[in-house]
Chains A and B, each alone.
Chain A
Amino acid sequence: MSFIEYGDTIKEGDTAIVFLGHESMFPVKVQHGGKTQTKYGVIRHSTDLIGKEYGSKVTCSKGGWVYILYPTPELWTLNLRHRTQILYSTDISLITMMLELKPGSIVCESGTGSASLSHAIIRTIAPTGHLYTVEFHQQRAEKAIEEFEEHKVGHLVTVKTQDVCKNGFGVTNIADAVFLDIPSPWEAVGHAKLALKHEGGRICSFSPCIEQVQRTCLALEEHGFTEITTSEILLRVYNVRTISLQIPDLGKTADGNSSTGVDGGSLSNEDALCPNLQQETIQFKSGVPLKEMVGHTGYLTFATKNLF
């Protein structure tokens, strides 16, 4: 298993995703002799997981079953342990495309945080790119390094523990893209410019507040960045439901009047004539928006560094 290369069978040391049901899953580190408790009973790694194919149904001790999935950065994002606020795949998607990341890209990132975005970047720039990520929080940086090794992508990433606003990224004229997710990105814009290649590159800054965005945009302009744009992306998820709506009883006067405007309705005269009969309904499929949705994560400000 590695986050950058699919494999077919579950092996010792893999991080696998246990899928219990809709939006209910968790990661598990596969170990000989290991046991994992789920609400459907226990999963024994040696017999239930190792050697099985990813995507298999695994029956737990109480008879219930789960699916074991191959870990992708997207599943990891949904399952990682939060050490900070994290970026989700909706924002990550736009960031990846707008920063023009692809195999071979050199990327600078700060802060590393919970490494949600880091995993997505590494996936995209592998096998020839490299990520330089800066995190001033010692413990978080160490945890990130540990995870990268565990996920077998350590060779594609360098974690530095320093303050990006004071000390920059520790590299110069090397990056194709820079990503900033820090409280005061405007203080790091100069360092970002230095990190980017001489011939130019792209930058993105993520900030929840508009005041942060304003200061960042000013700083970007002062440093000669062009194509400065700010956008916000919102994800709308729909539940697919079959809905039944009752046909109203319009009384006897509506009898025989076929033009009640009910399209495809199963109203028949016979039914309408009986006052006691069950109300007729019409069924249809609908994509129903969730009751609540994420209304704001942050503003994404993009810009280009030019040759001059």
Chain B
Amino acid sequence: MEAPARSPSPHVICEGDWAVLKRGDVFKAVAVVKRRKIVFEKQWFCLDNAIGHAYGTSFEVTSGGSLQPKRTLEEMNPETKEAGTDNRNIIDDGKSQKLTHDDIKALKDKGIKGEEIVQQLIENSTTFRDKTEFAQDKYIKKKKKKYEAVITIIKPSTRILSTMYYAREPGKINHLRYDTLAQMLTWGNVHAGNKMIVMETCAGLVLGAVMERMGGYGSIVQIYPGEGPVRAATSCFGFPKTFFDTLSEFPLSKVASVLSGTFSLTPLPSECEKKTPVAEDKNGSGDDKELSLPEVEMECSPKVAMESGQLEDQEKTEFASDALDDQAKGTTHDKQKKQEEKRRQLIAAAALLKNKDADGLIVASRFHPTSLLLLLLELVAPSRPFVVYCQYKEPLLECYAKLREKGGVINLKLSETWLRNYQILPDRSHPKLLITGGGGYLLTGITVKKESINTSDCLDEPSSKKRKLQEHQ
């Protein structure tokens, strides 16, 4: 697209948007802000020029850090007419490239376009003409990747963000691979109009994926451990504000009280949480924070300081400062209003949960799943699906056994998906790499009405059959 569209359209990059930068297979989520320096793949630039262009536009980074839109990505058609048939006469003497490092650096410093550098490298390679057609192709691709920095700006989506997180910060999302997340959304029957319960410690990625699939219809209660929900990845989706109207949050520590009917609305939750037992609770929650929050951080490499990572920190400091403010009893009008709002939300979420009629449960956390499931399944209506993710298989084995014991669930299935990517090129098709193990495991099932007695006889597998199976082992 040449002329930037003037009317703001969802397809046009606007200031304030969340966008994803793509170079090759590498992604990075950024907020579109004018005059902000962004470092991506060892290059720095500003997004100013990108504003007004359509999503999907490719840009070239110029020396001044500005982006120049690049039209079609013309497939390189160099004179591949001349090519060898095999490599019997190609000797690695380290002298096939006549350009020296300094020559190349000089070219780069002159601000010569990447494609021209690649062309020069080809011309100065003595062995290029003797290489097979395929080898020439590979050579060009490799050089292009290095010297031609083309960045595409795309719209965030679950596809993009889950791929990005798995590649960049798998520790932050408990190594939940994107195909596993895809299974969760399907097996959870996540769709518009649902009343979902989500408990996750995946930086808000799973929450975002659920929100995308619900499109602002229905309601979601996010159950959070500790001080508050982490939604760094959720914000990368750039959802409209209306989506957040359907989202509420509720502390995990209070779910049991809702179930037992002892959840009380009389004392201000903010008070009972933070003020009343000042000394004790302050210490308690402080410790909690020390323990739980940095733990998430530890697992991921701090080098890749993503935009979202920064945001997460912002969020945390926000929580922290909230607590501080409370302590310093800065009871300005604003703060009171905020607390009132928080309280209202808490009550609303409790009311949603109290009915125990949720349409589904999605769990993906760093915690042991068994106790979580036994508790949270109480909130779900009968004949509804639930999905639990765990990075490891063993806790799900136990969870499976405990759920069977307790009853109220059927069609329990423990599974894992394998994903294989392929290189498809004429006469050169083969599997690329096998990712396995690291994608995590799922336990899925369907809730049913619980019979008060007779929990021992389970429908799925008569005990006689079970015994037989064991004998076969």
Contact = CB atoms under 8 A, between A and B. Distances in A.
B470 interface: yes
A13 interface: no
B447 A55 contact: yes
A60 B383 CA distance: 19
Interface stretch (A142-150, A262-270, A299-307): A299-307
B277 interface: no
Contacts of A200: 56
Contacts of A235: 415-417
Given A6-B359, A70-B383, A307-B54, A123 B189 contact: yes
Contacts of B449: 53, 55-57
A260 interface: no
B469 interface: yes
Interface string A70-105: 101110000000000000011011101110101110
Contacts of A69: 383, 446, 448
Interface in B366-399: 381-385, 393-394, 396-398
Give the 9 A-B CB pairs with smallest separation, nearest first: A55-B382, A103-B215, A55-B383, A54-B383, A93-B186, A97-B182, A93-B182, A230-B422, A22-B460
Interface string B406-427: 0000111111111111101010
12 contacts: A4-B193, A53-B382, A65-B459, A102-B215, A103-B214, A231-B419, A236-B415, A240-B401, A241-B473, A285-B401, A287-B441, A288-B473
Contacts of A304: 56
Interface in A232-247: 232-244
Given A4-B191, A93-B179, A54 B186 contact: no
A136 interface: no
Interface string A180-220: 00000000000000000001100000000010011001100
B207 to A, nearest CB: 15
B367 to A, nearest CB: 19
Given A100-B159, A238-B414, A21 B186 contact: no
A124 B194 CA distance: 11
Contact of B418 (A5, A53, A236): A236
B417 A102 contact: no
A100 B157 contact: yes
Given A4-B193, A97-B162, A235-B415, 11 more contacts: A6-B193, A22-B460, A69-B383, A69-B446, A104-B215, A123-B191, A217-B424, A240-B414, A285-B397, A285-B398, A301-B424
A127 interface: yes
Interface in B251-282: none
A26 interface: no
B302 to A, nearest CB: 29
B451 interface: yes
Interface residues of B, number: 73
A269 B119 CA distance: 79
Contacts of B422: 213, 230-232, 299
A158 interface: no
Given A8-B381, A123-B189, A243-B473, A233 B410 contact: no
Contact of B57 (A56, A100, A307): A307
A120 interface: yes
A93 B193 contact: no
B76 interface: no
B191 A234 contact: no
A173 interface: no
Contacts of A21: 459-461
Interface of A: 4-6, 8, 19-22, 53-57, 65, 67-70, 72-74, 89-90, 92-94, 96-98, 100, 102-104, 120, 123-124, 126-128, 199-200, 210, 213-214, 217-218, 224, 226, 228-244, 285-288, 299, 301, 304, 306-308
A123 B191 CA distance: 6
Contact of B419 (A89, A96, A232, A240): A232
B322 to A, nearest CB: 33
Contacts of B459: 19-21, 65, 67
B59 to A, nearest CB: 13
B165 interface: no
Interface string B434-473: 0000000100001111010000000111000000011001
A282 B25 CA distance: 48
B89 interface: no
A74 B186 contact: yes
A299 B421 CA distance: 9
B73 interface: yes
Interface string B158-189: 11001000000000000000110111011101
Contacts of B40: none
Nearest to A305: B56
Nearest to B394: A285
Given A55-B448, A96-B182, A90 B417 contact: yes
B213 interface: yes
B179 A67 contact: no
A229 B412 CA distance: 33
Contacts of B215: 102-104, 128
A129 B411 CA distance: 31
B217 A67 contact: no
A97 B420 CA distance: 16
Contacts of A231: 419-422
Contacts of A4: 191-193
A74 B470 contact: no
B136 to A, nearest CB: 18
B1 interface: yes
B72 interface: yes
